[in-house]
Chain A
Amino acid sequence: MKWLDQPAEHYADKLGADAAAGTLPDVVNVSPDLSHPLAAAGMLMNLDKEKAAAAFKDEYTPEAWQGNALPGLAGTYAFPWYLNTGPLFYNKALFRDAGLDPEKPPKTYDELFAAANTMARKSGGRIATLAGTPSVEDFGRYGVRLMNDDATAFTYNEPKGVELLTRYKELYDHGGLDPQALTNTPEKAGQKFLEQKVAMNPGGAHDLETFKKNAPGLYRRLGITDAPNNTGKPNMYVMGLAVNKQSRHKAAAVAFAHYVTNRKNQEAFAHKVAVFPSTRGSLEDPYWTRDDGTDEGRVRVASAKMLKGAVNYTPVVMSDEMKTVLKNEVAKALQGKKSPRQALDDAAAASNRLLKRD
């Protein structure tokens, strides 16, 4: 067996080409939105149905095992691997300049919108609070129902979703969002936060290193908080290891996938690359519960705490194309080319059409 690392960008294209050509590796690293089409095409092993694999179920936290289950396909198709949840970084100095309490970052969307409006007004529109447009996770955290129960239709165009987008539109008009919010990539957004043009930006523990090195000034005034949330359930990203159903070495593949995701290896991996283990009991380890005084430690402990009760808001059936549809319709609403209601209706309708073709 061979370990192959892949760049994140174009990973889906790569998997698609491999799968279509029948060269899927024995064990594949997948997030649920990637495992869904593979499993639907009968290419992944249903772990719940495979005795040798199902036996390991109790080694993982129930949320993580559940997080790799796929609606409509009756089963879990990947061993839970690492989890991640990002802190939200903010610039304390910019908060202070705008007359906001730098020690009390917004916790809910109401507070976020209020703070962003103040920031825009006080800075004369020079400082935006966020650099990006709302993503499907934002809709989820705002409390919008994203899909119906059997995951056959998108429902984010319900009144609550329209309300969120309407408020974002006001924010954009008042300078609460970066003027380039419609085109910013995550990297670009990070750069604007670094240049102190944007007051808040989501990130991960590894960003601390960048701040320390490239923007020591910013690092001294860095605040760390959780993404605003109306549901009480933070967002998390789930990564799993799936086993190729057509594998010629099925037993070995199961054993390998389990070996990589067992408690010892997950913890070691998480120590190295600042992610979080999905094995039962791991997050009770002092490494993830006790603040060791460093900033990395602070972020780590705060994030680990968030993971309890966290959910993966992104619907697993939402393909990249459907994400692009939502992103583009949201942009049209922010530009004022469509009403928020119309934009979300169109996005949901287009996505549902894509969904039906499966």
Chain B
Amino acid sequence: MLRTSGWEKALRYVLMLGVLALTVGPFLWQLSTSLKGTTEDIYTSPPRFLPEHPTGHNYAEVAGVVPVWDYALNSLRVAVASVVTNLVGASMAGYALARLRFRGRRAAGLVFVAALLVPVESVVIAQFTLVRELNLNNTLTAVVLPGAVGALNVLLMRNAFAALPYETEEAAVIDGANAWQRFTRIALPSVRGTLAVVAIFSFMGAWDDFLWPLIVLSDADNFTLTVGLNFLHGTFTQNPRLVAAGTVIAVAPLLVMFACLQRYFFRGVGEGAVKG
């Protein structure tokens, strides 16, 4: 490895700090706004980045208007369920597409590619009719179902399994292990990183979804966070501090989860999970 010269190092850090300000800055600005009290002017020029008298008041007020924490719990349930179904469903399908030879494999692969191209907005009503025929409308199960096995996740898993050298399974085949045993004992443990990527993608997807839960859920008890926050949007735009507090509550759990999993995530990336 080449030595990095001093000035190059400095330049890299300066650039990284610059990008950091651009990517994370807006979130910190939102956090700062949410901590500013009612008496503090939030429109000052030059902008004041730190709140004068930081207060948690806005958070208490948001929670008083809508049961944010109940909604967050619903979102968490949906997101966790979605992670589980995606891990199981996508890895199984991905394994079959990558490691098993059979007639119809190409067609099956195409089904998942085609599904990626359909704009969700145009099929929502048809999806709702289906959920309703299954008698599942207004349940959290219905919120999970359409995204239970994401087409993109299937393709990611297929790529990860395809990248494994054939020899990985050879010994097991000779030992007479069947497909399921090879899948669970050998293939799965070799793609842990990609599994982390799929977990993160499906958690984020479920946590952030708005249009679908809005249509499926009619009972306020079942609302997920994004639908619940929609209440805030109309009611409180006159007070950016409250909106800011609401958005911080919506973002924080995701950031915490990502911070915890990012090590595995980037390892998964190194595995070539998100390559074509």
Contacts and interface: CB of A to CB of B under 8 A. Distances in A.
Given A7-B230, A7-B231, A22-B132, A210 B238 contact: yes
Interface of A: 2, 4-10, 13-14, 16-18, 20-23, 185, 187-188, 190-191, 194-195, 210, 213-214
A210 B237 CA distance: 11
Interface in B95-135: 124-125, 128-129, 132
B234 interface: yes
Given A14-B214, A17-B125, A214 B234 contact: no
A4 B129 contact: no
Given A14-B215, A190-B238, A214-B238, A23 B137 contact: yes
Contacts of B125: 16-17, 20
Size band of the interface chain B makes with A: 20 to 34
Interface of B: 38, 43, 124-125, 128-129, 132, 137, 214-215, 218-220, 227, 230-231, 233-234, 237-239
Nearest to B214: A10
A13 B230 CA distance: 14
Interface residue SS majority, chain A: helix
Contacts of B132: 21-23
A140 B218 CA distance: 35
A313 B187 CA distance: 67
B215 A13 contact: yes
Contacts of A5: 220
Contacts of A190: 237-238
B129 A6 contact: no
A262 to B, nearest CB: 25
A9 B230 contact: yes
B237 A21 contact: no
Nearest to A10: B214
A209 B129 CA distance: 42
A17 to B, nearest CB: 5
A202 to B, nearest CB: 14
A214 B239 contact: yes
Given A10-B214, A14-B214, A214 B219 contact: no
